[in-house]
Chains A and B, each alone.
Chain A
Amino acid sequence: ETGVTQTPRHLVMGMTNKKSLKCEQHLGHNAMYWYKQSAKKPLELMFVYSLEERVENNSVPSRFSPECPNSSHLFLHLHTLQPEDSALYLCASSQEPAGVSGELFFGEGSRLTVL
């Protein structure tokens, strides 16, 4: 496997369910990101992890809970979501700091539908 892989690619869940999105990067990067992509806010940064420590949380509701057990894996735990949380969730990685090169490597995303 190469690049950034995300699973599942599609997820349908009820408002009371608990589910998790998984991201794995095979690029040797030390920073990982979760973005939310929707029609209203096309690329909205949610969380940033650098060297497995969370360095930024852009005021994301607590029903989204990230976890970064090591520099290659990133999870987004979901619970009691709302229908407006339906979106494409993109994982990305970069060599820290991304601002120097601007190059983020994105996965193909997990399409989430909340019923």
Chain B
Amino acid sequence: QQQVKQSPQSLIVQKGGISIINCAYENTAFDYFPWYQQFPGKGPALLIAIRPDVSEKKEGRFTISFNKSAKQFSLHIMDSQPGDSATYFCAASMMQGNLIFGKGTKLSVKP
């Protein structure tokens, strides 16, 4: 029940395309859902986050869509660029709790 399931494990997208990464959770007590981005040789860094009281949050080309009833949330990267090539982790947490991470998605954006 503490797991966050992430898919796909890897993703190849052409430059200018839309990248979509999905996550699902079971614990309805989770109330914070961030996405982290990790470039090779670097630690993960917070990219964008959402709380369950909204269904969508957009920051530039990055959008989180949240479906509370389905217990799913996804990251959409519009107009994907080679510089977006990285590993993306979804996560979830409860108030006062630690983050539970998904297994990551390695995104490659081809020129």
A48 touching B43 by the CB < 8 A rule? no
Complex Cα–Cα for A98 and B99 (A): 7
Chain A min CB distance to B109 (Å): 20
> Which range holds the interface residue count of chain B?
20 to 34
- Residues of A near B43 (CB, < 8 A) are 4, 90, 92, 106-109
Chain B min CB distance to A93 (Å): 11
B42 touching A102 by the CB < 8 A rule? no
Check if A42 is an interface residue, CB within 8 A of chain B: yes
Stretch at the interface among B10-18, B19-27, B44-52, B69-77: B44-52
B89 touching A100 by the CB < 8 A rule? no
Interface string of B89-111 (1 = CB under 8 A from A): 10101111111010110000000
18 contacts between A and B (CB under 8 A): A33-B98, A42-B101, A43-B89, A45-B98, A45-B99, A90-B44, A92-B43, A97-B97, A99-B94, A99-B96, A99-B97, A100-B32, A101-B32, A103-B34, A103-B49, A104-B99, A106-B43, A108-B41
**Which residues from chain A sit less than 8 Å from chain B, CB to CB?**
4, 33, 41-43, 45, 48, 56, 90, 92, 97-109
